[in-house]
Amino acid sequence: ILETVLAQAQSDWMTEESVDFSLVLELDIEQESIVILKFEKDNPSGLEENEDYAQISITITPEDKDEESINVKIFFPNDKINSEMLDCSLVFPVSRQIPETLAIARASLDELFDGPTDEELDEGYFTNIPEGVEIQSLSIEESVAYADFNTKLEEQVGGSCRVSSIRAQIEETLKQFDSVESVVISIDGRTEDILQP
């Protein structure tokens, strides 16, 4: 499995008719490759009789054109700007230049998880997000970003201040985009009892 993503319906899905859907799939391909796209039906019931899928084989080739870049904002706490740390949810933007991509929200989170640069560290920026955090899924529906991460996000995380800062870093990085008004964070699909102080 190279990548797993969620497809979004482009119209009312409460119908027995077929509906259009869309997804963005980015693969790091260095040479022409044959891959299989497998589309699995959503099956909230978990019942075997409701399972269904279709698959097609396609050939993909890497892009030859030079990559264009875009600027995004990444949010970190800063112990020079907010020296007394009275409000742990205060985070401040730094600018990053990333290769142009349709999956700009995911790319921004990847930058966030890389942490501050040496120059940013000298300026007082730091991160409260643990190392090894990975995005398991990210979708935006009706102005809500649903971001699911692996369990590294809550490993050795203690204290209400650090938890508040972690949430703020992720939320503000995603809310820089006009399509996102609020963020739902989950870990392995769990939204309750996560990132507890």
Average pLDDT over residues 29-38: 81
**Number of helices and strands in the chain (H, E):** 3, 9
**Encoded amino acid at 188, one letter:** D
159 phi and psi, to 5 degrees? 95, 135
Q: What is the pLDDT of residue 32?
A: 78
Tens digit of each residue's pLDDT (9 = 90 or more) over 34-88: 888 898 888 888 898 989 988 888 888 776 555 588 999 999 999 998 877 778 8
Residue from 62, 54, 46, 50 nearest 7 by CA: 54
Higher-confidence residue of 44 and 93: namely 93
Per the DSSP assignment, residues forming a β-bridge with 141 are 144
